[in-house]
Amino acid sequence: MNSLETQTSTPGTDADAHRLPEDLPQSIQHYIDGQFVDSADGDTFDVLDPVTNETYIQAASGKAADVDHAVAAARRAFTEGPWPRMLPRERSRVLHRIADLVETRGDRLAELESFDSGLPITQALGQARRAAENFRFFADLIVAQADDVYKVPGRQVNYVNRKPIGVAGLITPWNTPFMLESWKLAPAIAAGNTVVLKPAEFTPLSAGLWAGIFEEAGLPQGVFNLVNGFGEQAGDALVKHPEVPLISFTGESATGQLIFANAAPYLKGLSMELGGKSPAIVFADADLEAAVNATIFGVFSLNGERCTAGSRILVQREVYDEFVERYAAQAKRVKVGLPHQKTTEVGALVHPEHYEKVMSYVELGKTEGRLVAGGDRPEGFETGNFVAPTVFADVPPTARIFQEEIFGPVVAITPFDTEEEALALANDTRYGLAAYIWTNDLKRSHNIAQAVEAGMVWLNSNNVRDLRTPFGGVKASGLGHEGGYRSLDFYTDQQAVHINLGEVHNPVFGKAD
Ligand code: NAD
């Protein structure tokens, strides 16, 4: 592994100062067929530190030639290698070892992830634990997997022969990159496929760690391949590669639409986890303290760069003023800080381009709603991608900040009077990823949950998720659900095998008289 050549960090005197993590690789490379390699054309791109916006490392910029190379390795590992043919129990052992290694390296993973993405370190640690859990979950699932058998007594038995499909193309976004990669890698590999991963270009650092983890856990060479680069080049080449029958994509809805069109001529299996603008509906009978705490966390955790963020809060008129007042006061106390500091609750947004986008919505919000918290850089952070937690009240549903995904620490609050109005407002966007409902009325909670246009609903809780449940959105938030067995369904083919037990049962054509 060449990436063990390392940069030297420049230790400062202040223990709390922002600095490069120790032992960074010299550069970020692709990982193809068990080797770290540069791009075939030697091209690289700059990766920025979100706190200073200075380039801190170069990453290999993959193109079609690199994707070809990676797909060929993955294809070879699929057709000639042991992985797809191993017993589920043997694959499961490797997956458990991967989970163990992710757990033991959690601190390092979180350190790199937090540095590269600007996520607060405590939250990056939680994401590393979740990444390990994803592997453990699918390690267990593949040994417990049961497939259907259908019997027609005396005549026929039919059974489902589940098989891996081939090379899966995995395309991931920059929010919680390592965890979201694990979400796709674990089921794809567990099912016996081989993969080519294309991580987001804003945050390529942590993906390289998979290589060492997989090698140490005993994953055969060529099963995992990694190509860095831009979406329009490396991502596009993967989508259009004829030997990649599956694409699992997480990212923006507009990118998902483009990938759908680009994959159409190849008739690929597609799984699309896309954007969101999820409502949190707070009824007057709710536990207001719990609702305020949860909706603050729901939009400001992970810097607001969370697909399931409850970024539209709908509040019943009777408690509206009190809610807005408490919410704004608490939002002002949310601690913005350097990503590596343990007390930080909101860190730096991932990239200056994204910072500009979020700030443009903050400025727009000042014309569309009533600013009650934030609205600028936080005090003391004159550089870097820092945004003060920002709250707009009285936001009409026609406002762009009500309709469009901002993907930052910005929330819109809107009043409603009746249950019908709450539901109409909740459904009044093109998105349908998540919804949160706060009420102590049992009937109402279920009726609204079932009527709301969202792939996932949480009643009186935040988005803690049982890994067995479906994950995914409706409308512009996605197509296809992963999660639990559904992920294995996406990454496998369910072949039907029919066995005759009796007379061959068909009319005889061309019978001799
Ligand atoms: P993005 O769509 O810009 O990029 C996602 C990935 O797609 C990146 O790796 C990018 O390089 C690649 N890509 C871009 N253009 C491509 C193309 N033409 N062909 C192939 N690949 C291409 O998204 P982002 O800004 O990285 O991530 C934020 C978005 O992701 C938000 O909209 C967020 O809601 C969404 N998201 C959704 C979920 C979910 O589960 N629904 C989870 C996390 C993030």
The three-state (H, E, C) secondary structure of 185-235, written as one string: HHHHHHCCCEEEEECCCCCCCHHHHHHHHHHHHCCCCCCEEECCCCHHHHH
Question: Do you know the residue count of the chain?
Answer: 513
Confidence of residue 451 (pLDDT cuts 50, 70, 90): very high
Q: What is the mean pLDDT of the chain?
A: 96
Does residue 307 have an active-site annotation? yes
8 Å CB contact between 278 and 304? no
Whether residue 11 is predicted with pLDDT greater than 90 in this model: the reply is no
Of 478, 475, 491, the C-alpha closest to 167 is 491
Q: pLDDT, tens digit, for every residue of 322-353?
A: 999 999 999 999 999 999 999 999 999 999 99
Which of 113, 201, 305, 307 does the annotation list as catalytic? 307
Average pLDDT over residues 445-452: 98
Whether the CB of 405 sits within 6 Å of ligand 1: yes
Average pLDDT over residues 391-408: 98
| Coil vs helix vs strand at 393 | strand
Whether the CB of 239 sits within 6 Å of ligand 1: yes
8 Å CB contact between 228 and 28? yes
In the structure encoding, which two tokens stand for residue 338, read together? 């350097």
Whether residue 408 is predicted with pLDDT greater than 50 in this model: the reply is yes
Question: H helices within 145-267, ranges in order?
Answer: 177-190, 209-217, 236-239, 253-263
CA atoms of 38 and 61, how far apart (whole Å): 8
What is the pLDDT, as a whole number, of residue 3? 40
Whether the CB of 349 sits within 6 Å of ligand 1: no
In the structure encoding, which two tokens stand for residue 376, read together? 């600028």
Whether the CB of 181 sits within 6 Å of ligand 1: no
Residue nearest to atom 35 of ligand 1 (CA): 251
Please tell me the distance between residue 350's alpha carbon and the centre of ligand 1 in angstroms: 13
What is the pLDDT, as a whole number, of residue 313? 99
Does residue 273 have an active-site annotation? yes
Atom of ligand 1 nearest to the CA of 199: 9
Average pLDDT over residues 185-199: 98
Look up the pTM and report it: 0.96
Residue nearest to atom 8 of ligand 1 (CA): 200
Whether residue 431 is predicted with pLDDT greater than 80 in this model: the reply is yes
Please tell me the distance between residue 255's alpha carbon and the centre of ligand 1 in angstroms: 6
What is the 8-class DSSP label of residue 438? E
Ligand 1 pocket mutation, candidates 236, 307, 358, criterion most atoms within 8 A of CB:
307
Ligand 1 pocket mutation, candidates 127, 170, 175, criterion most atoms within 8 A of CB:
175
Q: pLDDT, tens digit, for every residue of 249-286?
A: 999 999 999 999 999 999 999 999 999 999 999 999 99
Whether the CB of 198 sits within 6 Å of ligand 1: yes
390 DSSP β-pair partners: 410
| Coil vs helix vs strand at 35 | strand
Whether the CB of 353 sits within 6 Å of ligand 1: no
Residue nearest to atom 12 of ligand 1 (CA): 231
Whether the CB of 478 sits within 6 Å of ligand 1: yes
Atom of ligand 1 nearest to the CA of 176: 43
Please tell me the distance between residue 402's alpha carbon and the centre of ligand 1 in angstroms: 21
What is the pLDDT, as a whole number, of residue 14? 64
Whether residue 7 is predicted with pLDDT greater than 80 in this model: the reply is no
Lowest mean pLDDT among 9-18, 233-242, 291-300: 9-18
